[in-house]
Each structure stands twice: as structure tokens, then as C-alpha cells.
Amino acid sequence: MAKSFFRNVTDQITGSSGKTTDAQILQALNHFEDEHLKLQKFKREFDKYTQAILVFDNASFRFFDVIRSLTDPSWSQQQTLDQLCVDIGRTRNEHLQHLNKQIISNINTTFDIFEKMKGHIGEQCRIQHDYDKTRRQYLASMRREEQTKVDRIKNELDHLKSALNLINCELRDDLGKFHLDLQSHNRKTVIELFGIHGNFYKNSHKLCSNFVEKLQGNPSTNSSKNKKS
């Protein structure tokens, strides 16, 4: 199984031969990867969830067709029943479309946020790699007592160290801010998800309640009961 982007970055930053490290960044990257994996899992499970809704909706349409066939066409409320089944089907279709559009949009936005951070993390990885490589060259030249080469590499090493310290500082702040922004975005997605579901169930309840109340208050639906009394 291929390593994730973040696991590759972690390997490059820490390495296996004592490369320079930043423990705070390493911890943040591990957390970052966990969040990315959770987002991928959410996307997979949401796709399965909406597919299951679609299967259930199709079964519902077939079931309602059977319900409509149970009553005689001459029944005074047959058109009302037919319209209810049509309205329920429309409501279910609109619900699934709205759910897909809104949540997929939120998921894609979150993936975009991760992609932007990948660029910043990748830049840190590049500078870290250059610094480690130059540092090894510097130490090797010191051992061989190549003073001219040592002086030249020392200047380059100092420049890279300064750049590395700067981007590490920025990345620590950005990763912390990213997590806060991500949590805010995730909470927004959760609220919208249950809000969409709530509106659907509210509309469905209203349709069915109005239908039942209308029939219960119509003498023609209770004609058999009235005759017996």
C-alpha cells in the first residue's frame, strides 16, 4: 500500500540517520495525517450512505405504487392519495439532491484546504532536505580539513538554517491554525447535514399529517363505520 503524502513528508523530515528534526512539527504532521485519513473515510462512507438512500428511495416508490393500487379508483380521496405519493417522491428526490450538493461541496472544500497546506509542507520538506544535505557536506569537509570548501559551505549552511528556522516557525503556526479552521469547517458540515435531514423529515411529516387529518375529518372515509352505528 502506497504511503500517504504526509507519511512521506514525515519520513523525509525525520529520516533514519539522525537528520535534523522539529518535534512539534512532527507531532502536528501526524495529527494532520490523521485528519486527512478521517476526511477520506468520511467521503467514502458518505458515498455509501447516499447510495443506500437511493436504493431505499427506489424501493419506497415501488411500495407507494402498491399502496395506491389497494384502494378503488372510485374512492373520493384517491387523487389525494396519488398526490401524496407523488409529493413524497418529489420530497425524497429533492432531499437527496440537496444533501449530495451541499455535503459534497463541503467535502471538496476541505480537500482543497488540505491541498493548500501540502504546498507549504512540501516547501518545508525541500528546505529541510537541502539543509541536511549541506550539513553533511560541511561535516565531511571539516573532517578532511578542506578550509576553503568549509568556508563556502558554511555560508550556504547558515543561509539554509535561517530559511529553515523561518519556515518551521511559520509551519508550526499554520498547522495550529489549520486544525482550528478545520474543526470549525467540520462543525459547520455536521450542522448542515443534520439540518438538511431535519427539514426533510419535517416536510415529510407535514405531508403525511395533512393527509391523515384530511381523511380523518372526511365523512366519506368513515362511511362504513357510520353505517354500523
What is the DSSP annotation of 64-88? HHHHHHHS-TTSTTHHHHHHHHHHH
Does residue 5 lie within any of the structural domains?
Answer: no
Cell of 173: 503556526
Does residue 20 lie within any of the structural domains?
Answer: no
Does residue 192 lie within any of the structural domains?
Answer: yes
Cα angle 69, 72, 76 (rounded to 5 degrees) comes to 120
Does residue 138 lie within any of the structural domains?
Answer: yes
Does residue 58 lie within any of the structural domains?
Answer: yes
User: Among 218, 205, 223, which Cα is nearest to 84's?
Assistant: 205
Does residue 2 lie within any of the structural domains?
Answer: no
d(CA 83, CA 10): 60
Overall pTM surpassing 0.85 (yes/no): no
| CA dihedral (218, 222, 227, 229) positive or negative | negative
Domain that holds residue 152: 25-70+78-216
Does residue 37 lie within any of the structural domains?
Answer: yes
What's 189's domain CATH number? Answer: 1.20.1270.60
- From first to last of the 229 residues of the chain, give the pLDDT tens digit: 344 555 555 454 444 443 446 788 888 888 999 999 999 999 999 999 999 999 999 999 999 999 999 999 999 999 999 999 999 999 999 999 999 999 999 999 999 999 999 988 988 889 989 999 998 888 888 777 777 777 888 888 999 999 999 999 999 999 999 999 999 999 999 999 999 999 999 999 999 999 999 888 765 544 444 444 4
What's the structural domain count of the chain? 1
Does residue 60 lie within any of the structural domains?
Answer: yes
d(CA 141, CA 144): 5
Asked whether 89 and 56 are in contact (CB, 8 A), the reply is no
User: Among 102, 104, 97, 109, which Cα is nearest to 45's?
Assistant: 104
User: Among 32, 12, 26, which Cα is nearest to 177's?
Assistant: 32
